[in-house]
Amino acid sequence: MRIKNQKDFWAGILFIGFGLFFAGLGTQYTMGTAARVGPGYFPTALGVIVILLGIVVSVSGLSAKAPAEKVDDFHFPTLLLILGSIALFGLLLKPLGLMISLFILIAVSSYASHEFSWKAMLINAAVLIGLCLAVFVWGLKLELKLWPSLIGY
Amino acid sequence: METLLANLGIGFGAVLAFEPLSLFGLTLPVPMNLVYAFLGAFVGTMIGVLPGLGPLATIAMLLPATYVLPPLGGLIMIAGIYYGAQYGGSTTSILVNLPGEVSSVITCVDGYQMARRGRAGVALTTAALGSFFAGCVATVLVAAFAAPLTEIAFEFGPTEYFSLMVLGLISAVVLASGSVAKASAMVCLGLLGGLVGTDVNSGVSRYAFNIPELADGIGLVVVAMGVFGFAEVIRGVEQKEVREVFTKKVTNLFPTKADFKRMIAPVLRGTALGSLLGILPGGGPILASFGAYALEKKISKNSAEFGKGAIEGVAAPESANNAAAQTSFIPLLTLGLPSNAVMAMMVGAMMVHNIQPGPQVMTSNPTLFWGLIVSMWIGNLMLVVLNLPLIAIWVKFLMVPYRFLYPAILVFCSIGAYTVNNNTFDVLMTAGFGLLGYVFIKLGCEVAPLLLGFVLGPMMEENFRRSLLLARGDFTVFVTSPLSLALLGIAVVLVVIVARPAIKSKREEAFRKE
């Protein structure tokens, strides 16, 4: 069988997956009675609705009348560099402090661009780090550790 | 009328109040709320001008910053960003033929053609004046409707609220572009996401897997930054950039007498339609601008000129999107119901300051309520000044390449996500939502309904439970209360209308133009 509208088909599958997850776990919580609705009632009902909608969406993607649509290619290097740079920032902020983790965030994410250049990245990093210091540290006075503990404050 | 004036007086008092501000060791009295309104309008115009950065991502980015501001100041700033973006978006549409905002997509058609004919200045002035007029009218509408609608809202019990939310979410789905089934599924997923964490009634921790950070629920900032900020950045970076700036100097800002004559009717019609579509749940600036353009094209006597630089094609949609941006505050301020994703973030900003949005805000917190309304009018005035004489500055902003812009978005989002709870787990979770948002975009699922559901999830469950508790478990309560029955009836009618084959094909056709 050929999948006519791939976007719809896979979106439907994703919905079914999410629905199964929420409805399945939802049944583990107390359902309660109609007069005293328990914590499991609402999420399980919603989960079932999501499953049903997911079936509708994916079946409509299989129908011969559906407009043919392909899922655009995932651009994995971009995806990995952008999300990776954010994750690195999250992981390194506590141990390395704001300055170094910000630089890593900017350097790694800039590398994802089609027109990456070292010089432009370094200028951008200097400007952005300066801006962050001005706004967050001196302006809003947020408690952020700037450097790794080894070097002292 | 007199009470309205008195109320507006409270608002002006709140917005113009002076507060001492210490800077560099000097303490000066400064009208801080005016400063926030200006900041909002400025940032809004800036991101409106910049393609690839929309009001949703920006407000998500600045939401943590508004948490440290006083409540009124924070709300004034978010509102300013929202309607400021409607002004700024038109600049890019006219000068670059690239929409700065989704709500200015349609302005490209005639705005860019006007620019090519050397009438860029006139097009910009038309857009700004139309927006200003619409903004003034819409502010008056918000002020006038607020009090009577609030009265009605006090009649609402949990049953009516539940049905109202059902209606709101259904019309959000119907009015969204793309498949109704997909958008409904997104809303339901959002509702489910909102339920993650400790259930207030039973104390049971749901979907939290003993992760302490999840016990308090997933933060609005985390979801909004992930699906709007990060997902959009990934998509923006993977596309090769094509931006040809229409670099000709913008001269001659003043429309001729004939231009003014042709402008008046479209501005009036755009304002009326936009105001109406803004109030509808799920409506808002995007729908309003498309609707106003279509209407104008149909009834204008210059309809042959549309697409070739008709001034009506700029005046109508630009008035409509600004009117809608403002009237979409009506359901939020009176009923406590967000009608679109930006309003959902306003709810988040209010809740952080322990203000439960709803009809009680007007009585319990009049300075906040009227101050916000008055700030919209003042903000619009600032925007005309910001956009017309200073247009040269904004054109400079257009030149900022995306490779400088997106690391800045990431930096501000990451620090913002961290500072809400001083927790790096939130940063990682935001990255996860970025991935989810990216997958949804690739699969053609609109993410705005997800955020709307996310905010409404806990409220909806709470009202559902309370209704059944009061009715002793009788499900018919939702149809025996006349108000609730009427609301659900409208929802059913909406679904039936959209499901009809003739309407269905028309609807698909209408959204394909996007």
pLDDT tens-digit profile of B17-62? Answer: 887 776 666 677 778 889 999 999 998 888 888 876 778 888 888 8
What is the arithmetic mean of pLDDT over B467-480?
Answer: 89
Nearest to A34 among B184, B202, B473 (CB): B473
Q: Residue B25 has what pLDDT?
A: 64
Chain B, residues 182-221, CB within 8 A of chain A, namely 182, 184-185, 188-189, 191-192, 195, 199, 201-202, 204, 206-207
Nearest to A110 among B179, B403, B428 (CB): B403
Interchain contact, A142 vs B419, CB within 8 Å: yes
The vertex-B125 CA angle with B119 and B128, nearest 5°, equals 140
Nearest to A90 among B427, B440, B464 (CB): B427
Q: Residue B242 has what pLDDT?
A: 58
Q: Residue B22 has what pLDDT?
A: 67
pLDDT digits (tens, 9 = 90+) for B135-157: 999 988 888 888 888 888 888 88
* Portion of chain B with pLDDT greater than 90, in percent: 18
What is the arithmetic mean of pLDDT over A58-72?
Answer: 83
Helix, strand, or coil here: A146? Answer: coil
Question: Residue A19: is its pLDDT beyond 70?
Answer: yes
Higher pLDDT, B96 or B120: B120
Predicted complex: ipTM over 0.95: no
pTM score, two decimals?
Answer: 0.84
Higher pLDDT, A44 or B506: A44
* Portion of chain B with pLDDT greater than 70, in percent: 93
Chain A within 8 Å of B152 (Cβ-Cβ)?
A: no
The 3-state secondary structure of B48-101 reads HHCCCCCHHHHHHHHHHHHHHCCHHHHHHHHHHHHHHHHHHHHHHHHHHCCCCC
Question: Residue A44: is its pLDDT beyond 90?
Answer: yes
pLDDT band at B514 (very low <50, low <70, confident <90, very high): very low
Whole-angstrom Cα distance, residue A57 to residue A5?
10
Q: Residue A103 has what pLDDT?
A: 94
Chain A residues whose CB is inside 8 A of the B191 CB are 46
Chain A residues whose CB is inside 8 A of the B410 CB are 82, 85-86, 105-106, 109
Q: Position of tokens 């207030």? A: B200
Q: Residue B303 has what pLDDT?
A: 78
Contact present, B280 and B76 (Cβ < 8 Å): no
pLDDT band at A81 (very low <50, low <70, confident <90, very high): very high
Question: Residue B216: is its pLDDT beyond 60?
Answer: yes
Question: Residue B351: is its pLDDT beyond 60?
Answer: yes
Question: Residue B413: is its pLDDT beyond 70?
Answer: yes
Chain A residues whose CB is inside 8 A of the B234 CB are 75, 78-79, 82-83
Interchain contact, B192 vs A46, CB within 8 Å: yes
Question: Residue B369: is its pLDDT beyond 80?
Answer: yes
What is the arithmetic mean of pLDDT over B370-384?
Answer: 90
CB neighbour burial string for B173-209, b if at least 16 within 10 angstroms, e if fewer? bbbbbbbbbbbbbbbbbbbbbbbbbbbebbeebbbbe
Q: Which DSSP letter does residue B28 get?
A: E
Chain B, residues 57-86, CB within 8 A of chain A, namely 65, 68
pLDDT digits (tens, 9 = 90+) for B155-191: 888 999 899 889 888 888 887 667 888 999 999 999 9
Chain B residues whose CB is inside 8 A of the A56 CB are 181
Nearest to B234 among A26, A82, A128 (CB): A82
Q: How far is B122 from chain A (nearest CA, A)?
A: 36
**Closest chain A residue to the Cα of B453, Cα to Cα:** A46
Interchain contact, B434 vs A82, CB within 8 Å: yes
Whole-angstrom Cα distance, residue B359 to residue B146?
9
Q: Residue B507 has what pLDDT?
A: 59
Interchain contact, B415 vs A132, CB within 8 Å: yes
pLDDT band at A153 (very low <50, low <70, confident <90, very high): very low
Average pLDDT, chain B: 84
Q: Residue B260 has what pLDDT?
A: 84
Judge residue A137's burial from the number of C-beta atoms within 10 Å of its C-beta, 0-12 exposed, 13-18 middle, 19 or more buried.
middle
Q: Residue B513 has what pLDDT?
A: 45
Contact present, B404 and A120 (Cβ < 8 Å): yes
Question: Residue B506: is its pLDDT beyond 70?
Answer: no
Contact present, B288 and B271 (Cβ < 8 Å): no
Chain B residues whose CB is inside 8 A of the A106 CB are 407, 410-411
Q: What are the φ and ψ backbone dihedral angles of B78, each rounded to 5 degrees?
A: -60, -45
Average pLDDT, chain A: 88
Query: Residue B22 is inside which H or E element, if any?
Result: strand B19-23
pLDDT digits (tens, 9 = 90+) for A45-56: 999 999 999 999
Q: What are the φ and ψ backbone dihedral angles of B369, each rounded to 5 degrees?
A: -60, -55
Chain A residues whose CB is inside 8 A of the B424 CB are 90-91, 93-94
Higher pLDDT, B367 or B395: B367
Helix, strand, or coil here: B19? Answer: strand
How many residues would you count in chain A? 153
Question: Residue B355: is its pLDDT beyond 90?
Answer: no
Q: Nearest CA to B60 among B220, B237, B278?
A: B220
Nearest to B410 among A60, A86, A131 (CB): A86
Question: Residue A150: is its pLDDT beyond 80?
Answer: no
Query: What are the CA-CA distances from residue B279 to residues A29, B284, B391, B491 (Å)?
Result: 38, 7, 31, 16
Question: Residue B251: is its pLDDT beyond 50?
Answer: yes
Characterise A2 by phi-psi region: left (phi > 0), alpha (psi -120 to 50), beta (else). beta
Chain A residues whose CB is inside 8 A of the B181 CB are 53, 56-57, 60
Chain B, residues 468-487, CB within 8 A of chain A, namely 468-469, 471-475
Nearest to A35 among B230, B237, B473 (CB): B473
**Closest chain A residue to the Cα of B209, Cα to Cα:** A25
**Closest chain A residue to the Cα of B207, Cα to Cα:** A25
Interchain contact, A39 vs B202, CB within 8 Å: yes
Question: Residue A152: is its pLDDT beyond 60?
Answer: no
Question: Residue A120: is its pLDDT beyond 80?
Answer: yes
> Mean pLDDT lowest for which of A6-10, A121-125, B4-8, B44-48?
B4-8
